[in-house]
Each structure stands twice: as C-alpha cells, then as structure tokens.
Structure 1
C-alpha cells in the first residue's frame, strides 16, 4: 500500500505566503495533503498500486530465473529503479531517434546498476567487491558519478541477486539509488579527516541513511529527492542544487551546526536552492531532513511530472511559508534563526596531497571524466592497501580520494595512481572537466559525452598546457548528452548541453553552450549563479576543444586583470567575444 499523507493542508493564510496575481489553476496539482491521493497520471498509478521497494522479491524469485522476457513492463520501466536498475540504451541508435522512439524501442536487455555510496565513503574491501562485480558481470565497466555513486553497465537480470548478495556482504546496496525516492546523500569526501574541518557530518549522514533509506513511507515521492551535507569550509557538496542541504556554520550563541537550504535542482528548469535562515544543531539534522522530505511527499506537485520537484513548490510558497509549514506541521519545535555560512575556502574537489588532522595524508586523483573500470577499481584497492590505507572516498566531482597515507609514502602512491590512470597532479583541464553517461548507455541522450570530453581534455592539454600558469585556476567544462543536466551544465564555466544542432545547413550531433555558471567556491569572485546562453551559439560534437580553446584565449586577452574569473568575464562580454 502506498502511504497516506500524515498531515492536512494548512487552514487559512500562512506567514510569508506570496501574494499572486496570476490566475488560480483550474486543475489540482496532485498534492496529497490538498487534493488527496487519487493518482493523476500513469507514474502515480503504478506507485499507488504497489510500492516500488516490493519489486525486489519478484526480481529474486521470478525475473532472475525467467530472464528479461519474463519481466512485467511496469516493473521494468518503473519499479526496477527503486533498486538502482535502469535498462540501458541499445547500441547503434543515433541521437536523432532519441525523441522519436519509445523507451521499449530504445532499450537493450541489459541494465545500468547504480551502487549507492552515501557520503562517498568506501573501504578497500567494498571497492574490491565492486571491482570484482564489474569484471565478472559488467564487462569491466564502471563510472564514478557526480553524485558519489559508482555505476556499472551490461548487467543481466539473471545476475542481479548474486550481485546484491556480494554487495550486501560488505554493507553496500543499490536500495533507492534511483526512482522517486530519497537518493544518495552527498557528503564531504574529507569528513572526519580534514585538518580544517568545521564538523564531521558522518554521524548525521549515517543516521539519515539507517533510519530512512528503504522506509516504505518515503518510497513514493513526487519525484527524486537529493540531499547534501558538509562540514568542510570548501562547501564541497554542491549544496545549492540539492532538494535539502546542510552546510556547516558557527552560530554566535549556539555553537557549530548547519545552515539549512532547500529547493535546489537543475535539469531543464534550473533553480538554485535557498536558505531558510534556520540553524540546525547536529542532533536535529535527521529530524529536519525527515520534515523536509515529508513536506515534499505531502505537498509536492504530482499531476505534471515536469513540475514534480521540490523547487517548484518552493518557488510558489517562498522560504517563509516553507519554514512555517516545516516548523508547525513537521517538527517538534521551531528552529532558531542562524547566520549564513561564510564564503568557501579552498578547493572543493580535494585533488592532490593534503595533510589530515592526524598527521597522515589524503590524496585526491582525477580519472578522465569519471570513466574507470572494474580492473582499475580493484587495482586502486590493492594500491591503497599497499600504502597502508583501507579507506577510499568518492566526490561530487567524479574524483577519488585515498585516505590515511604516511607522508613518506605519498609520492609512491601518486606514481601508482598515475600508472592506473588516476592523476593526483592533473592538468587544469582534466581536473575541471566532468561528463554524464551520454549516448553510449543512456536512453535519454542525444550526443556522446565521455569519449568526446576525454578527447577534448587531451587536445586542450596539448594546445593550452603552456598557458596554465596564466590561466591560474580551473575553468570548469561540463559535458551533458541531453537537456537534463546530470553533468550540471548550467553551473559550469563552460557547460555543453547535448542536442542536434544545425551547422552550415546540416543537422549534426552537438551542444548548446552555457557560459559563466558556477556554485560557491573559493576560486570564484561571484556568488553561485547560472550560466548565460548566447543566441545561435552551437558546437559540433567533435568541436569541444576547438570552442573551449577559442573562448579561453579570448578570455585571457580580454580580462581586465589576472584575478577576473572566467564567469565574471563571460557575463560581461559581448556575444561576439563568446562565439
């Protein structure tokens, strides 16, 4: 049974509600607390009929034995996601057909499997198990995602029960790694070990995961719900684009806790999250998180799926009303007002060697746009252990960290990482480039991403490598295969959105360009903001490096002083300069 809403709609006006002159909608939004739970579309129907978490039993007892052909279509295209499984794209279907074919025509009889890594925290034993699963069941595929997960491909449903057994033997899972559920909890990759950490958020991350992940009452949300928690001054978890985020701050009277953010998200309608102005003590983080997610469950919009994210509710309610409802309907006591977190300090990707608070070192390394393999992951586990470490961290920037390395072993580790394709001293271009899955495996994609982005890195290193001292800081390049922004294109210095583009009268795979976006960081003089688009500016799929080189050289020539960031320049530059 799908859960019934636990709260009623607020009676009468609410403090801080916006005054609106627009017409009142004639159709209900599908808010459980207002309109009831009657489903208003096909997605809501299948979720109400059977909780997505229940599909695991059918996978284990029926589908694994019967194979792909035995899978019920609603389970295949709906509930499988609740256990981290999506069908992957059938090879050979070009991007021009993405929008014209049905999901059934696009899909292969293999799955992408997403391993959930809350807080990005892994042991070498866990990493070795994932590597072994990759080499045995996933054709040696593995991607580090910008949500700190690890994704595998070419998975057969027949092998899923054994994969789950192996993962769960080392306390890993795929539970709610996809679907209309609370997704992985982003956490600072240096939680508990950074010398400059404000607070270790690990206890809060573990409490939320242990209490609420797999909770049937939270397994039917309007759409996905993303969380981020950091206690590091670099604010290293892209908190502005999560549904609910907690950023470490010191309250003048109450001590160290968190600044609460809600309502961020990108995709085709990007919106940065907003502060509620509320201070959350560490012991109340799980309670507040639970309150925010239940607001989304009960008041979130369900009728139109393209408006079923928390950001749309926040846009209509405003922060004052949202806080009022949270405190009066979902929390045991109000939250005190609190200060905003200070400006970020330091690099949030944690690449390179850094001293820990215990005197040991952690080393952050960059693969090429997150693409690794099971062989690489196994080699990384072996290499870490050979250097005295049993702890690995993934990051929201498609990077990987090895913790607890003695100072006299750091250089040996860096050499070993380089030998397996993980660079701890990468070029600015390798360091600052990320890419989504792309057309190789994703049914939504229009354009290739990983291969194109990796090739662009090599070309930029060759063409602009000598200019790195003049460039000074990473210029972020994010490459996405469709408009959905899994690679965060609107928050990059150079963001590329995959689509069919017309160049010289011919329609070809390419990218629309977003320029000057970015989240809060020590490298930016600006606040977080979304990139601008330039009318008519399109880049062919094989022209990433050509465009990036051209616009970076123009930036270097036109910037007013060496400290002017790319984003500042991009927002003030004439359109001609950005072509």
Structure 2
C-alpha cells in the first residue's frame, strides 16, 4: 500500500476493488434509513443485547451443555465474548461449501483472548499456558492481530477459563462480533529508541473507556483499529478501519496521521488519509467519532457490504473528514503531514537495544503456533533473565522485553530451546498462515502444517542464493484473506483445483503485493495471473522456481514486488 507523501489524500485508493453500493434501495444506514433490521444478523442483535449472553453461558449453557445453546447465541452472540465453534474433524475442504454450518461445526470452541497490543506479564503467560493445557489440549496460536487463540474449548469449561483470565487482567470481551475488535499496537511501543510517539496511552484509553460499551456493541460489522508511533510503520495501517500513525507536525509536535477505510477479504481496499493531524489530546475523541460514523452511517442491509471501506468508497476522504468534524467533533482538525517512508525492521526480529539501555529480542514461533508448555517455558525464561514482559506482533512473532545486556545471550539460547527462533531463515521469518482446515469452518485447504513444511524446505533449497531482500509469503485457507494474501509478495488463496482431471487442494496465486509494514515506500495489492493455480503438493517447487527467476531477472535494488508487477505472465508460471 502507498505511504503518501503529498498533502492531498488519494481517492480512490490505489488498487481499490470496492465500488459504492447502488442507491436503488435502503442500505440500512441508521442515520438515513432508521433502525429497522434488514437481515437476520441485525434482527438477533436487536432482539437481545449480544454482550448479555455471558450470563446465559455461565448459568445455563455451561451447566446444561452444548445441546442447550440457542442457535442465535451459538452462531451470533457468542462471538461478542470471543467464541466460535470450530470445524468438525475429518471434513475435507471440498465439502466446505456443500454443508450447512451445523454440519460443519464441532461441539468445541475457538476462544480468542484479546491483548490490544499490550504486554503479557510472566503471571499472565503462566495463566494462559495452564488454561491451554487444562482446557484447550495444549493449543495456543498467535494471530495476525496480536491475539492468542485457543482451540478444543468446551462450553462447560468457559466460565472457569474466563475467571482465570480475568484474575490476571485479561479478557475475551468483543474478541469477535460486530464490535471494536482487538487493537493492533506497535510491539515496540514505549521502548524503541526511534519512536515518534508512544501509542500506549491512546490504546489504554480506548480500551478502558469503550471496551464493552453497549453503545458500540452493535456495529454494522467488525471495526479494526491500529495505532503506532514507530517509523517502521509496523501495524498494517493501510488495511484497518481506522489507523493512527505517528508523525511530527512542524508546529504542533508529535501526534498522529489519521487513516480510514482499509480492509481486505474478498473486496480489498486500501485505507485513505483524511489529511488531518490528530494531537494526543484529541485522539480518543477522534477514534470515538470515527467508530460512531461507522455505527450510524455504515451499511447494514447486506453483510458483504457492511464494512467501513464501502462507506469510504462512496464518500471519499474529503466528505468523511467533513462529517467527522461537523457532526461528531464540532470543530475542525488541523491539516497534517503524511508519514515518512518506513525505516527499520517492522517485524522486530532479533536483538535490539531499547531506549532505556536494556534489550528486546524478537523471535519467530513456527507459523505463529505455540502450545501451553511453550508459554510456561517462556514465563520461566523471562523470569530467569530478569524480564517480566512479552509482546505479540501483527506478524505472529513474540518479543521478550527488558533483557539486561549481560543476559542477552542466555535469553537467545533459551528462546531457541523453546522453538522460538531469533534468527530465522527468510521464509521462516516472512511466512504467515491462517488457522486453515484444521479448525476453521470456512477453510478449503490445510495451512499451518503445510506452511511449516514448505518454509523449512524453501529455506534449505534456497540457501545457495543471494536472497538479500525480504520475500513475504502468506498461506490462506479460503478467499477471506485472514493473513492478507493480496498484500504479500506471494499470496496463496486456498481452493480445490483440478489438475489432469483430478481434484486436489491448491492455491490461486497473488504476486507483488505489500504494505509499509514490509519496509516498502510503495505498497499495493498483488496481481493475479490468468489460469495460474498451484497444487499444494507442488508449492515448494513453484516458489523456488519463482524466487530463482526473480534473482536472475531483477534489476539493481529491485524488490520482488517490483519485479512481479513488470514480469510477463510466462515468467510467473
């Protein structure tokens, strides 16, 4: 996506595929059409406040079991507390679109623990690790929104699971649902030497003020927030509903540049700058204004047109700014500068000195996958080297913070013993994978185990090359782009393909996408090549061939994305 250096925000965003909805009938905008519900989701939200389902979970469902759960609670309101039913085991991807959700779902749950970019203390790590072992068969995945997800959770265990989390200040509230989802926050907030502004106070203020607020618990769909003060631009600001990006105003000092209306899925659109400068004092009110615009003006008639990006596609940044200022703030915001081109490593892997003289160590769990024992071991390691803070990142990494200089080598060795690599190979470092067929009801292909195998083989096969530039790869189990297939160098969208008359798991390929998070001054959506589909079993061969071709054909300092966009289709096969 583009990091714009001009004063005027672009409209439409580069590569945008979203079109404004037709005007022929009501879009279900509360401030325009009234609040009459126009689909089943809107009905159940109005019939019973989704957050109130907690009491039924604790007093009825946990006692009477899975079969007692009301369907609107099970497949609707449960999400407001971070619960989704997981996929029934043994159902292959070819049947995903053929079966009803009741046939696809198991009697177990995914439980999302929201972190909002915050640090996990040793005590919190131990609690999650024990919960994982006691209630989730040892599972624990880092998501690309800095959360932790557990699997195999039974409804009978949910109240005790919540009690343990809340005892140490953790929560699952609004982990899913049509709510303000967990915030992305710079993983090096408050510790990086080159930080423009510390986003921690803003993230904490939003969380403390509005998390669980009933007024914001019925949005048209999910609302994603990103906040960073790092010049590495490390929170995917171009693909969130609202993003605050640290900038230095020549007269007003440090504050934020405001981006609105980004999101991917099946209709990707890049966020746009409103061109305003947001001071630290105004940031909470501005966030509240933007989310209320979404609540009041967002489209509710069709679920697939209910994200904020569709409203931005119709309004454009100028009108959005006017409505924000005139109707929700009651005053104008000053014009402001755009972020500078990104600098530094946005994945924060390796050993780095903090501004207080101590060190953080960034390490890579294989495709974001942990387990309960690893979390417990990480807590013990942190204690042994004098640390009490661990953070997750939007790239499914872990940072061990506040390590004294004399304990760094010990900490690096300890992370490796836990399977957390501080110096991974290119593909291990730069590959993301979604939950996939193992647990997700929408998935068509396997992702996590495939990705672990593929990236290990690629790093071995390409060890003889001079691969001096990052090549990012994302493996997604369905078209919904949970790990951002359109914004990776190599984005793989899972589907069932036909090869020589035989159906098999495979991928549609997106090439040459990228974000400022990837350290690029120019970013945008990847291209697809007509007819290019790769079977899962041929993925290693294809990516190896593609990377070697890039290395042979690239111009000086040319990135993979630049090459992929200029290469002819034959070179990309």
TM-score by length of 1: 0.95
Offset, 1:284 = 1.0
Q: What does 1:86-485 align with in structure 2 at a 5 Å threshold?
A: 86-467=84-465, 470-485=466-481
1:505 positional shift: 2.2
Partners of 2:505 and 2:141 in 1: CA distance: 23
Paired residues of 1:128 and 1:377 also in contact (CA < 8 A): yes
Give yes or no for contact 1:438–1:446 (8 Å, CA) kept in 2.
Answer: yes
Which residue pairs with 2:484 in the alignment? 488
Within the candidate set 494, 501, 507, 1:505 is matched to 501
Asked if 2 retains the 8 angstrom alpha-carbon contact of 1:279 and 1:338, the reply is yes
**Distance across 2 between alignment mates of 1:234 and 1:504:** 46
CA distance in 1, matches of 2:486, 2:119: 27
Q: Are 2:530 and 1:538 aligned?
A: no
Does 2:550 match 1:555?
Answer: yes
Q: Give the Å deviation of 1:25.
A: 2.3
How far the C-alpha of 1:543 sits from its partner, in A, is 2.3
**How many residues are treated as equivalent by the alignment?**
558
1:439, 1:445 within 8 Å by CA — same for their partners in 2?
A: yes
Deviations for 1:98-122, whole angstroms, at most 9, x for unmatched residues? 1111110000000000000011421
The equivalent position to 2:567 in structure 1, one of 541, 563, 573, is 573
Post-superposition Cα deviations, 1:134-157, rounded to whole Å, max 9, x if no partner, equal: 001000001001000000000000
Written as runs of structure 1 = structure 2, the 5 A alignment for 1:6-21 is none
8 Å CA contact 2:513–2:524 kept in 1: the answer is yes
Cα 1:50–1:71 shift into 2, 3 Å: same
Cα pair 2:20 2:311 within 8 Å, conserved = no
Q: CA deviation at 1:465?
A: 1.8
Q: Distance in 2 between matches of 1:528 and 1:565?
A: 11
In 1, Cα distance between the equivalents of 2:491 and 2:522?
17
RMSD value, Cα: 1.4
- 1:242-295 superposed Cα distances (whole Å, 9 cap, x missing partner): 000000000011010000000000000000100000100011111000000000
Helix, strand or coil at the partner of 1:514 = strand
Cα distance in 1 between the residues matched to 2:190 and 2:21: 51
5+ long unaligned stretches in structure 2: 1-9, 13-18
With structure 2 as the length reference, what TM-score do the two structures score?
0.96
Q: Is the 8 A contact 1:144 1:372 kept in 2?
A: yes
Question: Helix, strand or coil: the match of 1:311?
Answer: helix
User: What is the DSSP-based 3-state SS (H/G/I as helix, E as strand, rest coil) of the residue aligned with 1:283?
Assistant: coil
Residue number among 511, 517, 521 corresponding to 1:515 in the alignment: 511
CA contact (8 A) 2:346 2:519 kept: no
Aligned residue for 1:85?
A: 83
Inter-CA distance 296–152: structure 2 relative to 1 (3 Å threshold): same
| Distance in 2 of aligned mates of 1:255 and 1:411 | 38
Per the alignment, residue 16 of structure 2 pairs with: none
Partner of 2:524: 529
- 1:26 Cα offset (Å): 2.0
How far, CA to CA, are the matches of 1:473 and 1:54 in structure 2? 50
Q: SS where residue 530 of structure 2 aligns?
A: strand
Deviation sequence 1:317-359 (CA, Å, 0-9, x none): 0000000000011114211110101011111010000000010
